[in-house]
Structure formats: C-alpha cells, structure tokens
Copies of this chain bind each other. A is one copy, B any other.
Amino acid sequence: MTLPSTYADRNCSLARSLEIVGERWTLLIIRDAFFGVRRFGDFATQLKIPRAVLTNRLKLLVQEGVLIRDEEATGGVEYRLTAKGVGLWPVVRAFMNWGDTFYSPSGVKRAQRHDQDGGLLDREGRCQDCGLAVPVPEIRIEPGPGFCRTDSDLDPVSNAINTPRRLLEPIVRPRTPSAGEGELSATRSTGRAD
C-alpha cells in the first residue's frame, strides 16, 4: 500500500508497525478512537481529514484488525478499537510524552489519571497512588497545564474530547440528546492494554 514494499527488511517490527499505522492521519484517527470518537463523520470533522482518505484509512485499520466496524441496530456505523488497537496505547503515549517534553514548556497538554483513585499516571502509565499499571479503560484523561484553552473550541466533537473523560468511552453527541445512549457498551470487553 503506502509502504514501498521494500519498507526495510521484514526483520524490523518497527517497519512492520509503520506499514499499518505509519501513514499520515492514521495515528490521529487512533488517538481519536481512544478519546471516544466512533463515527465516520466525527472523525472527519474533528480531524478535518478528507473523507476519501478517511475511508481508506478506516478500511485498512479494519482489515488489519485494529478497529472493528459495527453496524448498529439504529442504522449507525461505529468504528471501535479492538484489543489489538488498544495495544497501540503505549505508542500513542510515547508520542505524547515526547511532544510534551520538547514542545510544551508549560507542562503536559493532557494529564492522565487513574479513574478509580484519581492518582496521576507516570510516563509509563503507572498510577502514582496505587502503583498499578493502569489498564486503558480505567485511564481518565483531562487537560493538563500545557493545554491552551481556546475559549469557544471548535466543533462539538473537539469539545467533547477536551473534556475530562475515560479513554474508550464514546463521546456524547449533542444529537439524540436523551436517547438510550446512556450505558450501552460501558466497559466492554475491550480487553486489557499492554
């Protein structure tokens, strides 16, 4: 696909990984999925990514088992991270750590907490209160000291993902305000990370 086939030897798992998630936009799509974005249109508007590209990326990610595509009873389509996709959290975290360290002098842009006890997570995702390696669905993410609040954010989707929330929890869309969206899959069997 994007990989020039000879994307380095087969003997490098880095190269292999990049073949799947190394294309432009892909990791941002996955980040959004961690933040609870699930709908085609939400990915498109939040990332401002051309819909044709989004279609391609989602197709590849589904094909590789990073996402699953769910046609809901309501007719809606949802893309959700599989266990394999959740396994990418350390990658996302490592990128965030690096960016925070070298491009965010005023502190991390997003802080991570253990939802159960409110403890801050260290760079490796361990809760500084209870000492556990926190599984992804128990991670609560919230704006950190380096976050630049643009008073009225942009679209509702961006606003939603900038609100303190647990990872993987679907964003609440202003549409269908009080429907039965309450606790659908809740803590699904999204497997454990890492």
* A residues lining the B interface (CB < 8 Å): 2, 4, 6-18, 22-24, 27-28, 31, 46-48, 84, 87-88, 90-104, 108-110, 123-124, 143, 146-148, 150, 154, 158, 162, 194
The answer to whether B88 and A91 touch across the interface, beta carbons within 8 angstroms, is no
A154 contact set on B, CB distance < 8 A: 9
Q: Which residues of B contact A150 (CB under 8 A)?
A: 9
A101 CB contacts on chain B under 8 angstroms: 87
Question: Which residues on B sit within 8 Å (CB–CB) of A88?
Answer: 98
Q: With A8-B28, A14-B95 given, can you name 11 additional A-B contacts, CB distance below 8 Å? A: A4-B48, A11-B109, A13-B103, A13-B110, A15-B31, A16-B99, A17-B99, A18-B27, A84-B102, A87-B101, A90-B98
Copies in the complex: 2
Chain B nearest Cβ from A4, distance in angstroms: 8
Measured between beta carbons, the chain B residues less than 8 angstroms from A162 are 11
Say whether B109 contacts A12, CB under 8 Å. yes
Ordered by A's residue number, 18 sampled pairs between the chains whose C-beta atoms are within 8 Å are A2-B24, A7-B28, A8-B28, A8-B46, A10-B148, A11-B110, A11-B147, A11-B162, A12-B28, A13-B109, A14-B31, A17-B98, A17-B99, A17-B103, A84-B102, A87-B101, A87-B102, A93-B94
